[in-house]
Amino acid sequence: MSASVVALALVAQTTDFGDGFYVFALLVLPVVLFIGVATYVRLIDTQIEDAWLVFGMNRLRHAYIEIAPELEPYFVTGLYDDEQGLFETYGPGADIRLSRLLASTSVLVG
């Protein structure tokens, strides 16, 4: 993306914002837009996949607790595959932290 901005600046400088610049911009900018949207969609997919994997890990921890209940004090993350278990796995206070959402990669890229 930054290379396309540099390329647009160079073309603008050489063509004095003439017809060549507009043609070049109309060729480059849709490609940059597509790459940006595709990156954003993939980042959302990775966050969904991360939550899905955390649910699976929580199910495994819950199974361990059912097999050996005396191990429960040693687990510091969530044990259930629900929303509360997800937040417990992400860390204390994760359910109320707006900073976690605002600092996520997809929000920053978006």
**Residue 94 covered by a domain:** yes
Q: Is residue 69 assigned to a domain?
A: yes
Amino acid at 42: R
- pLDDT score recorded for residue 60: 94
- For residue 20, is it within any domain? no
Which pLDDT value is given to residue 85?
86
**Is residue 9 domain-resident?**
no
H or E element: which one contains 83?
helix 83-90
pTM of the model: 0.69
- From 41, 10, 33, 11, select the one nearest 24 (Cα to Cα): 11
Residue 85: which domain range? 33-109
Instruction: Please write the tens of the pLDDT for every residue from 1-29.
Output: 889 999 999 999 999 999 999 999 999 99
Which among 86, 83, 95, 93 is positioned nearest to 57, based on CA atoms? Answer: 86
**Nearest C-alpha neighbor of 84 from the set 62, 106, 107:** 62
Per the listing, tokens 């595959």 go with 81
What's the number of domains the chain is made of? 1
